[in-house]
Amino acid sequence: MTNSWTKLLLLLLLLMFVGLGVYGINALKQPSAPSVQALSSLDSQYLTEADLLEKAPLTVLAQVKLLEEPFRHGGVDFQQVNLTISEQLHGPLLPKEISVLQTLVPNSEVFLSLKKDASYVLFLEPYTGPVTSKEAYVICGVSLGLVPFSPEEVSASPERNEQQRRAGALNRGGIIFSVPLLKEYYAAKN
């Protein structure tokens, strides 16, 4: 009787090892999850709005002119977005027309997408990587560096600036992202 239990136990162990081996081989064949490599600065240098103000190499006021056809690279959807810069607030001088490479993540509350004809304050940095060979920029801090604004804000009076300051206009994390106040900030910084 002991001999038959030993054979049964050995058979069960053998089946278990074969099953683990098959599972391991199948796991190796599965493609790894796609990575959103360097498409929005996901690194830890842009954790807060204050980080954007201090560290983002470029800050612009821009309007979306053209959303190019989405494309897939490495299992991730991307889109080139052509922008017209109405004003550059910070950083090395850019041409009037630039391209931003954005990651498309449907139904996401974290990854906001640029919309056609909308205006934004954008905190940007140059893109380097395998997704496109065209000159492009990416938004710093994922959606943190994408702030919608209305063009009326640009010409606000000093009285309006003070009203915005008191009301906490576009107050995100204690930072007031009104266009006139951003202009004041960068003017004082330079």
Q: Is the pLDDT of residue 189 over 60?
A: yes
Amino acid at position 138, single letter: V
Cα–Cα separations (whole angstroms), residue 130 to 74, 84, 95, 101, 187: 10, 25, 23, 12, 36
pLDDT of residue 48: 80
Output the six-digit token pair for 57. 């190499």
DSSP state of 140: B
Contact 134, 83 (CB under 8 A): no
Q: Write down the pLDDT at residue 43.
A: 53
Q: Closest Cα partner for 147 from 114, 174, 125?
A: 114
What are the two backbone dihedrals, phi and then psi, of residue 60, each rounded to the nearest 5 degrees?
Answer: -135, 155
Q: In the chain, where are the structural domains located? A: 1-30, 49-189
pLDDT at position 10 is 59
Tell me: the pLDDT tens digits for 112-142? Answer: 889 999 999 999 999 988 998 899 999 998 7
Report helix, strand or coil for 177: coil
Q: So what's the pLDDT on residue 29? A: 47
The SS3 of residue 114 is: coil
Neighbouring C-alpha atoms within 13 Å toward the C-beta of 30 = 9
DSSP strands (E only) in the chain? 58-67, 71-73, 76-90, 97-103, 119-126, 137-139, 146-148, 171-172, 175-176
Residue entry with tokens 């900030």: 185
Confidence of residue 151 (pLDDT cuts 50, 70, 90): low
Q: Which of residues 91 and 7 earns the better pLDDT score?
A: 91
The fold adopted by the segment(s) 49-189 is OB fold (Dihydrolipoamide Acetyltransferase, E2P) (2.40.50)
Please report the pLDDT score of residue 126 as a whole number: 94
- Residue 79 has a pLDDT of 93
**By mean pLDDT, which of 7-11, 77-81, 161-165, 176-180 is the weakest?**
161-165
Instruction: Compute the distance between CA of residue 89 and CA of residue 8 in angstroms, rounded to an integer.
Output: 76
Model confidence over 44-64: pLDDT tens digits?
Answer: 588 787 888 889 999 999 999
Q: Given a cut of 50, is residue 16 above it in pLDDT?
A: yes
The pLDDT of residue 182 is 80
Q: What are the tens digits of pLDDT across the range 68-111?
A: 999 999 999 999 999 999 999 999 999 999 999 998 888 877 67
